[in-house]
Every structure is written in C-alpha cells, then in structure tokens.
Amino acid sequence: MGEFFAEIWTARAQLAEGLLATIEISAVAIFTGSALGLFTGIGLVYGWRPLRWLLRFYVDVVRGTPVLVLILATFYILAVFGVQFTAVGSGMFALSLFCGGHLGEIVRGALQTIPATQIDAGKSVGLRMPQILLLVLLPQALRQILPVWINTAVEIVKASTLLSIIGVGELLLKTQEIIGRNFLTLEFYTFAGLLYFLVNFSIERFGRIVERRLALA
C-alpha cells in the first residue's frame, strides 16, 4: 500500500488534470445537451411538421446509435466533409448530441402527458403560446423529467470514458498512462472508479436537493 500511495502522490497532477477534464467535458455536454433536448422536445410536440420530421430523425438516429460510434463518427467522418474538431471538441459535440437526443424524447413525453386544458386555461387569461410554455407547461414537465435527467447526466459522465479512444486526456486515459509506468493496474483502476463514483454521487445528491425544492414549490 505504501508504494500505491507514493505513486498517487507522484501522479497527483496528472490525476487532477484528468479529473478536471472529465468534469469540464461532462458539464459542457450536460448543459448543451439539456438545452438541445429542451428545444427538441418542444419542437417534437409543438413544432411545424417539417421540423418535427427532422427532429424525429435526429432523435431516432442518436438513440439507436452506440455512444462510441457517435464519438468516432464525430471525430473521423465529419473531417471528410471539411468540419474540423479537436479531440475535446469532438467529444463534447458527440456527448451533447447524445444527451440532447435522449432528453428530447423525455421532454416530448412529459409535455404530452400534460392535459390540453392547461393550454386552454393559459389562453383564457391572455397568455401567448411562448408564455404558456414557459410559465405553465415547462414547470410541470420539469418535475416529471428531473429524475430521468439525473440518470442521463450520470450516463454522460460514464460515457466520457469512451473519449480516451480518440485521445482526449480525461481521467481514464490519464489513469491508463499512469498504469503504463507503474503497472499498479488494480489499484489505480479502483481509485479511478472511486473518483467517478464521487462525481456521479455529487450529481445524484444535487438532483435530489433540486427535486425536493421543486416538490415544495
């Protein structure tokens, strides 16, 4: 154990760099994907027909494609069409698309469970459709989708480990580089797993706090 702790101390900067990269990439993907999912869900329910067709195609493709394939496609295939991304940019873009596609379907389902009488009630007091969405429909939908959103956010953090295959220096790749020097495979993979657990546990706790506050609102 003494050797393991000595190696952790030696590699502390590398581990911190990888952990920070994982948190930053995941946070950007979750934030961007949530905004994209919100737009997608609203568009699937209330958008004009061609837009609904386009969004449905996007959602079905993303939900039917493994995350790893989505990452590789973003990194390699887009370059063929002249769209150049860095490895980090490709990873963020792919995870944002993945998050947006899944959340879009979740938002669509939540909005469609709200009775149409809610819209009629909003119109009866003089609200326009954007106001009805913002003040009446979305607050109700948010209470329904929050638990699933927490699960999706956790999945994004776990999916970020796949970015190591395109050379993104996140926590898993940094851990593999460290193991390549000291061969403490079990110890460092266990330690990396603990760090991932702490990140995901923090997301889960934050979501529970927000969920309780919304329940009291």
| Domains of the chain listed by start with CATH number | 2-216 (1.10.3720.10)
Q: Is pLDDT of 217 > 70?
A: no
The DSSP symbol for 114 reads: S
Residue 191: what pLDDT?
Answer: 96
Averaged pLDDT, 190-206: 95
Q: Is pLDDT of 3 > 70?
A: yes
The answer to whether residues 17 and 169 touch, using CB atoms and an 8 Å cutoff, is yes
Of 96 and 141, which is predicted with more confidence?
Answer: 96
Q: Is pLDDT of 111 > 60?
A: yes
The answer to whether residues 75 and 90 touch, using CB atoms and an 8 Å cutoff, is yes
Residue 215: what pLDDT?
Answer: 66
CB neighbours of residue 151 within 10 Å: 14
Residue-wise pLDDT for 138-174, tens only, equals 888 888 898 899 999 999 999 999 999 999 999 999 9
Residue 142: what pLDDT?
Answer: 85
The answer to whether residues 25 and 90 touch, using CB atoms and an 8 Å cutoff, is no
Residue 40: what pLDDT?
Answer: 96
Q: Is 169 helix (H, G, I), strand (E, B) or coil?
A: coil
Give this prediction's pTM: 0.91
Question: What is the overall mean pLDDT for the chain?
Answer: 91
Residue 216: what pLDDT?
Answer: 54
CA geometry: angle 172, 175, 181, nearest 5 deg: 145
Annotate 18-68 with DSSP letters as a single string.
Answer: HHHHHHHHHHHHHHHHHHHHHHHHHHHHHS-HHHHHHHHHHHHHHHTS-HH
